[in-house]
Chain A
Amino acid sequence: MMTRRFWFLFFLVFLILLSLPLWGSSFYMFLVTEIIALSLFAMSFDLIYGFTGMLSLGHATFFGAGSYIFTLSIIYWQANLWVALLLAINGSAIIAWVIGFFAVRARGTNFIVITIIFSLVIFYLSFYYKSITGGDDGLPLKVPDLVLGFLSISIHDNPMANYYLVLAVVSLCYLFYWRLIVSPMGRLFVAIKSNEERTQYIGFNTLKYRLISFVISGAFSGLSGALCSMTTHYTNNKLLHWTTSVDVVVWTIVGGAGTLIGPVMGACIFTFFREFISFHFKQYPIVIGMVLIFFIIFIPQGILGYLLGLIRRERK
C-alpha cells in the first residue's frame, strides 16, 4: 500500500520532470536543471549525515573541487565531456579520501571540526592560487559537445540537451544510492550511526566503512559540482566557501535526514527561495538561520520525516 503510493508519486514526479522542456519556460528549465544537479549534492550529504551519522561541515570542498576539476580539465586539456565528468568524480574521491583519512579517526565534535578546518583552509588556498582558480571572479567555461558514438550533441547552447543529460546522470546516481542503502553495506552505515561500538564488537572495521561512506559522498558531491558548472557555464571559489557547506546541511535537516528524498526537497525549496527572495532581501541567510533553528528544536526529523511519521501513525 505504502510502497505503491510511493511508486505512484515517484513516477508522477519523474513524468513531470521528463516533460518539463515541453511546457516550462527557459528560465524555469535553467532553475530546475540547477536544482536537479544540486539534489545530487544533497543526497550525497545525506549519505554521510543521515545514514552513516557523520556531520560534515566541509562538504563544499568536494562540491567545489568537482566543479574546478571539471572546468580546469576542459580549459587546460580540452577534455572530452565524459572524461571531464569522470575526472571530477575521481578527483573529488581522492580529495575526500585524503581528508577522510584524518577525519574519520575523529568522532563526534572533533570530526565536525576537522571537516570545517580542512574546508576553510582549502578555501584560502583557492584565493591564494587566484591565477588558476580565478578567485571570486571565477572562470567562464565553454562546455564541450556530448559525444555518443558517432552522434555529437551540443550542450553549451542547447539547454534541453543539458537538462536531459543532468536528469539522466542524477537519476542514475539516485538509483545507485537507493541500491546502496538497501545493500548490506548500506545497512552497515546505519548500524554505525546507531551504535559504532557495537558494530565494532560484531567484528566490522568501522573506520573503513566510515571512510568508504565519506569517499562515496565526496565523489558524488564532486559530480554534482561538475554538473552545476556544466549548467551555469561558470565556476568560482564561492562554491568552495563555507556557505555552500552550510546550505547542504540546511537542506538536509529541513527536508529530513536519512530519507534521501527529503534533502532533495530541501534543496528544491531553498533554491527557489533564494532565487526569488535574494533579489529583494540580500540578508536572506538570516531567514535560513531562523528556519534551521526552528526545525532543529521543533521538527528535528525534517519535513519528509514528519510526513512519514504522520502516515505511520495513520496506519496504526
Chain B
Amino acid sequence: MGIEVHLFMNMMNGLVWGLIIALIALGLVLIFGLIKILNISHGEFYMLGAIFGWYLIQYTQNFWLALVLSPLLVAAIGLFIEWGILRPTEDKPIKTLIVTLGISLILQYTVYWFYGGSPQRIVEPFQYHLTLFGSGYSGYRIFVAILSMAVIALLGLFLQKTRIGLWIRAVKQDQEMAIAVGIPTQKVIMITFALGSFLAALGGVLAAPIFSVDFLMGLEVLPTAFMVVIIGGPGNLMGALGASILIAELEGISSVFVSPTISRVLSLVLMSIVLLKRPEGIFSRARR
C-alpha cells in the first residue's frame, strides 16, 4: 500500500471519527452553553450508549433497533440525572462539576459490575466494502459519516426552527431574561441535558462496531471531547463541529508519519497554543 492510499485511509477514518466526536462534543457544548457546567460524566453517556447497544444486539440481533433504542434509554437516564442529582447544585459550576465526577464513577463501576471488565466487539451490521483509491473501505464507516452529518444538520434545524430550539437559544443568551418572558427554564435545561446524552449515546452505538466496547471507553474520549470544547470555544456549536473534525484529522493524518500517541500529544500542543493565543476558541469572531 502506497503512502498516499495510507494517507487517504487515515483521512477518511479521521473524518468518521471526527463526526462521532462531534456528536459527543455537541452535547457537551450545548449543556455547557446553557448552565455553564462542564459535564465530566458526558463520556459515560457515550459509553452507556455503546453498552446498551451491545446488550440490545445480544438479545435481539438487530443493530437498527439498538441504534434507536439505546440513545433513547440513555436520554432517559440523562433526564433523571439532571432532574434528580444535578439540580440542587446547578447554580455553582464547580460543585456541579464534582457531582458529575461522582456520577461518572457510579456509572462506570455499575457497568463494570454487570458487564465485566473485558472489552467486547460488535460486528458491523453490513459487510459492504466500497472501492476507493484501489483499496477497500468499509461501507459501514461511510454510513456512520453520512448519518452523523444528517443528525448534526437535524440538530441545527431543531435549534433554529422549532420552539424548543428557540427556548434553548434564549436560555443560553440570558437565563434570567428567559425566565422573565415566561420560558420554562428548568424544563429547557432538562430537555437539553437529555438531548446531549442522546447525541453522545448515538455516537457510542455508532462507534461500537468500529472500536471495542468496554466500561472505560467514556474516559478515552473525554480528553478529545474537552479539547474540542476548548479549541472550538466554549458554548460555540459550529466551533465544536469544526474543532472535532480538525482534531480528528490532525490525529489521523499525523498518525501516518508518527505513532498515534505522538499524534495525540500533537493535538495537545495545538490546544495549548489555542488556549494561550485565543482563549475564546479559534472559530469565534474576535471579540476583545
Contact = CB atoms under 8 A, between A and B. Distances in A.
Are these two chains actual partners, yes or no?
A: yes
Interface of A: 55, 57, 102, 105-106, 108-110, 112-114, 116-118, 120-121, 124-125, 127-128, 242, 246, 249, 253, 282-286, 288-290, 292-293, 296-297, 300
B234 A109 contact: yes
30 contacts: A55-B94, A57-B101, A102-B275, A102-B276, A108-B93, A109-B37, A109-B93, A109-B234, A110-B230, A110-B275, A113-B230, A114-B275, A117-B226, A117-B227, A125-B265, A127-B261, A242-B219, A246-B105, A286-B110, A288-B105, A289-B109, A290-B102, A290-B106, A292-B99, A292-B101, A293-B102, A296-B95, A296-B98, A296-B99, A296-B102
A124 B268 CA distance: 12
Interface in B33-48: 36-38, 40
Contacts of A121: 223, 264-265, 268
A115 to B, nearest CB: 10
B89 interface: yes
Given A117-B223, A120-B223, A109 B109 contact: no
Interface in B92-121: 93-95, 97-99, 101-106, 108-110, 112-113
Interface string B20-40: 000000000000100011101
Contacts of A120: 219, 222-223
B45 to A, nearest CB: 15
B106 A289 contact: yes
Interface string B265-285: 100100110011001000000
Nearest to A288: B105
B102 A289 contact: yes
Given A55-B97, A118-B268, A289 B103 contact: yes
B195 to A, nearest CB: 20
Q: Report the 5 A-B pairs with minimum CB-CB distance, sorted nearest first.
A: A289-B105, A292-B102, A128-B261, A289-B106, A289-B102
Nearest to B41: A289
B138 to A, nearest CB: 26
B38 A109 contact: yes
B229 interface: yes
Contact of B275 (A106, A125, A284): A106
Interface residues of B, number: 43
B223 A286 contact: no
Given A117-B223, A283-B110, A286-B109, A109 B97 contact: yes
B52 to A, nearest CB: 18
B272 A102 contact: yes
B131 interface: no
Nearest to B227: A117
A104 to B, nearest CB: 11
Contacts, number: 111
Contacts of B271: 117
A285 B105 contact: yes
B60 interface: no
A293 B85 contact: yes
B229 A286 contact: no
A105 B98 CA distance: 21
A238 to B, nearest CB: 13
Nearest to B32: A109
Contacts of A124: 261, 264
A301 to B, nearest CB: 12
B98 to A, nearest CB: 5
B127 interface: no
A296 B89 contact: yes
Given A293-B103, A296-B89, A297-B99, A116 B226 contact: yes
A156 to B, nearest CB: 33
A290 B85 CA distance: 11
A286 B106 contact: yes
A137 B229 CA distance: 34
Interface string B250-267: 000000000101001100
A110 B231 CA distance: 11
Given A109-B97, A249-B101, A297-B89, A116 B113 contact: no
B184 interface: no
A96 to B, nearest CB: 15
B88 interface: yes
Interface string B50-92: 0000000000000000000000000000000000010011000
Contacts of A117: 223, 226-227, 268, 271
A246 B108 CA distance: 13
A108 B95 CA distance: 11
A128 B113 contact: no
Contacts of A127: 261
A24 B259 CA distance: 50
A293 to B, nearest CB: 4
A285 B271 CA distance: 31
| Most chain A Cβ neighbours within 10 Å, of B99, B271, B272, B276 | B272
A254 to B, nearest CB: 11
B105 A292 contact: yes
Given A57-B40, A242-B219, A297-B99, 20 more contacts: A105-B276, A106-B275, A108-B94, A109-B234, A110-B234, A110-B275, A110-B279, A112-B94, A113-B230, A116-B226, A118-B268, A120-B222, A249-B98, A285-B108, A286-B105, A286-B106, A288-B105, A292-B98, A292-B105, A296-B99
B229 to A, nearest CB: 7
A57 B275 CA distance: 18
